[in-house]
């Protein structure tokens, strides 16, 4: 049989803020979700509606078979169905932020990976129906590549204030100061993450800016440095958003 509950299903419940017991929506609500409306579903809801329909059909077939069918599998299928229905129901009342973590170099306008970055951004925008692009980028300096893509855009990054300053460069170079190590050109290439208090300050400001950017939008894409992906996802959840997270590091 083609459907199986994933081990991380309980995390899915927590991720969408439904750690309490999950209940399936009414038949009227399901018919709405399953596409029986004049307005077609978009983005994640369209994906969920198709999966819900296919899984319901699968369960119906399994229930009609002889008693030899696996009751454990049916229970798992019903649980997965309930999770998907609850996520869709939750998506009708909460806004969504799709986080996309990458390395900052490819965000610079003119970088050799711009085309590949654009392909991935536009794929997520198309598949998840995002209407605004937010980006962790410097408040000063040249505009980023993402800001040139032609969709509503907000720079949600931080400025040069002391509270936001982080270790600036590779541990091999003299510009690496006040870090855990003394800089040395004999070290292998690596960077230190921190100071942690300043990174937390940066993320808190990015969340504030993202909430402001999302006021007029239901689904937004947030482009950030990969090191922030998990912690920013948790912060977005805490602010009441539905959250999905993706990552990509291009090959140079």
Please determine, for residue 12, whether its predicted confidence score (pLDDT) is greater than 50: no
Instruction: Inform me whether the pLDDT recorded for 69 exceeds 70.
Output: no
Q: Match 């017991």 to its residue by tokens.
A: 21
pLDDT at site 40: 81
Provide the whole-model pTM: 0.79
Where helices occur in 65-99 by DSSP H, the ranges are: 71-91
Residue 243 is predicted with a pLDDT of: 97
Residue 22 has pLDDT above 50, yes or no: no
**For the chain, domain boundaries:** 9-91, 96-247
Q: 222 — phi, psi (to 5°)? A: -115, 115
Q: Give the tens place of pLDDT for each residue, 146-182.
A: 999 999 999 999 988 899 999 888 999 998 988 999 9
Q: Is the pLDDT of residue 19 over 80?
A: no
Could you tell me the pLDDT band of residue 27, with boundaries at 50, 70 and 90? Answer: very low
As given in the structure block, the two tokens for residue 237 are 């959840």
Helix (H) or strand (E) holding 209: helix 196-213
Contact (CB, 8 A) for 88 and 45: yes
Residue 13 pLDDT more than 90? no
Report long-range pairs for 101-105 (Cβ below 8 Å, ≥24 apart): 101/224, 101/225, 101/226, 101/227, 101/228, 101/229, 101/245, 101/246, 101/247, 101/248, 102/223, 102/224, 102/225, 102/226, 102/247, 102/248, 102/249, 102/250, 103/225, 103/226, 103/249, 103/250, 104/225
Q: What percent of the chain has pLDDT over 70?
A: 83
CATH ID of 96-247, from 1.20.120, 1.10.10, 3.40.50, 3.30.70: 3.40.50
Average pLDDT value for residue range 212-224: 97
Q: For 71-103, write each residue's pLDDT tens digit.
A: 888 899 999 999 999 998 887 789 999 999 999
């Amino acid at each position: 049989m083609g459907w199986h509950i994933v081990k991380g299903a309980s995390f899915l419940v927590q991720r969408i803020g439904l750690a309490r017991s999950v209940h399936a929506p009414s038949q009227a609500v399901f018919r709405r979700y399953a596409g029986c409306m004049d307005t077609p579903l978009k983005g994640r809801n369209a994906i969920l509606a198709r999966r819900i329909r296919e899984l319901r059909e699968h369960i119906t077939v399994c229930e009609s078979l002889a008693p030899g069918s696996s009751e454990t599998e049916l229970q798992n299928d019903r649980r997965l169905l309930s999770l998907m229905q609850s996520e869709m129901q939750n998506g009708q009342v909460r806004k969504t932020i799709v986080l996309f973590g990458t390395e900052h170099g490819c965000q610079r306008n003119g970088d050799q990976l711009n085309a590949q970055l654009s392909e991935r951004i536009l794929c997520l925008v198309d598949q998840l129906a995002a209407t605004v692009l937010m980006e962790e980028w410097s408040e000063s300096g040249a505009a980023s590549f993402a800001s040139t893509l032609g969709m509503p855009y907000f720079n949600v990054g931080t400025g040069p204030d002391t509270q936001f300053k982080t270790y600036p460069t590779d541990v091999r170079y003299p510009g690496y100061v006040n870090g855990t190590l003394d800089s040395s050109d004999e070290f292998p290439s690596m960077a230190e993450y921190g100071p942690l208090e300043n990174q937390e300050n940066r993320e808190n400001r990015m969340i504030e800016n993202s909430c402001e950017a999302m006021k007029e939008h239901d689904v937004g894409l947030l482009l950030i440095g990969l090191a922030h992906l998990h912690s920013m996802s948790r912060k977005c959840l805490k602010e009441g958003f539905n959250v999905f997270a993706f990552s990509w590091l291009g090959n140079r």
